[in-house]
Amino acid sequence: MEQNKIPQATAKRLPLYYRFLNNLYQQGKKRVSSKELSEAVKVDSATIRRDFSYFGALGKKGYGYNVEYLLGFFRSTLDQHEITEVALIGVGNLGTAFLKYSFLKNNNIRITKAFDKDPNKVGTEVEGVPIYSIDEMDKHLGHIRVAILAIPASEADAVTDILVKHGIIGILNFTPARITVPKHVRVHHIDFAVELQALVYFLKHYPLEKDE
C-alpha cells in the first residue's frame, strides 16, 4: 500500500503508534480513543487526530478508532510484513546495549550481523548475532542496506566510506561525528551530548508549569 506523502514529523510518529496499537491488540482491545492514545504515547490528541487524518483514518465520536483496522493499516504502511536486516558496526557498550534491547524483537527489523575490530569478539555471538571482523565488511555485509554506527567518532568517516561502497543506503549514526555521505544515503543522527544539552536548554528557557 503506497500512501501520499505525509509530513516527516507525522512519519516519525508512526512507529510509536504502531507499537502501542500492537500492545492493545495483544491485550484484546477492540477500540481506542485519541485521548487514550494521547496519554499512552505522550502526543497531544489534536496532533494524533491530524496525523491519522493523513491516512484517511477518521475516528468516530464516542467510539474512537478501530484497533484492528488501524493496526492493519500501519502494518502495511510500515512494511511490517517484510523483514529488514540491519548491520551493527561496533560491539562496545552501546552496540551491546542494542543487541540486548528486547524491544527490537517485537518488530520486523533484525540486527543480523555485527562487526567489531576486537579480535576477542570476532567469531563470537551476542544474543545470537554473529560478530565479524570490521576489516571483512566487504565479505559479510551481503544484501544488508541499513547500518547502525556505534564506533568511536575518529573511525566514523573511514568506516562509513566502506559501508557506502558496499551498498549501505541508511545509517543510524550514534557517533558525535557528522559523517559525509553521497546524496543517496540517508543518515539519522543521534548525538547523546546534543540531546542532553537540548534537554538542559529547554529546562532553563521553557520551564513547564507546576501542577496546581
For the four alpha carbons of 129, 120, 189 and 100, in that order, the dihedral sign comes to positive
Residue 183 interacts with a second copy (CB under 8 A): yes or no: yes
Residue 93, annotated as binding a ligand: yes
57, 133, 155, 185: which one binds a second copy (CB under 8 A): 185
Residue 148 interacts with a second copy (CB under 8 A): yes or no: yes
Q: Whole-angstrom Cα distance, residue 25 to residue 17? A: 12
Q: Whole-angstrom Cα distance, residue 35 to residue 64? A: 9
Question: Please, are residues 131 and 124 in contact by the beta-carbon 8 Å criterion?
Answer: yes
Range 24-53, binding a second copy (CB under 8 A): 39-42
18, 65, 115, 132: which one binds a second copy (CB under 8 A): 18
Q: Based on CB atoms, which residue is closest to a second copy, 63 or 202?
A: 202
**Smallest distance, Å, CB 59 to a second copy?**
20
Q: Based on CB atoms, which residue is closest to a second copy, 60 or 142?
A: 142
Choose among 101, 91, 87: nearest CA to 152: 91
For the four alpha carbons of 128, 132, 134 and 139, in that order, the dihedral sign comes to negative
Residue 11 interacts with a second copy (CB under 8 A): yes or no: yes
DSSP H helical segments within the chain, as ranges?
8-26, 34-41, 45-54, 67-77, 93-100, 137-140, 153-165, 192-205
Residue 188 interacts with a second copy (CB under 8 A): yes or no: yes
Question: Please, are residues 171 and 157 in contact by the beta-carbon 8 Å criterion?
Answer: no
**Smallest distance, Å, CB 61 to a second copy?**
25
Which grid coordinates belong to 152?
568511536
Residue 94, annotated as binding a ligand: yes
Range 78-117, binding a second copy (CB under 8 A): 78-79, 84, 86, 92-94, 96-98, 100-101, 103-104, 106-107, 109
Residue 209 interacts with a second copy (CB under 8 A): yes or no: yes
- How many residues sit in the footprint of a second copy (CB under 8 A)? 73
Question: Please, are residues 169 and 147 in contact by the beta-carbon 8 Å criterion?
Answer: no
Q: Based on CB atoms, which residue is closest to a second copy, 158 or 194?
A: 194
Known binding positions for NAD(+): 90-95
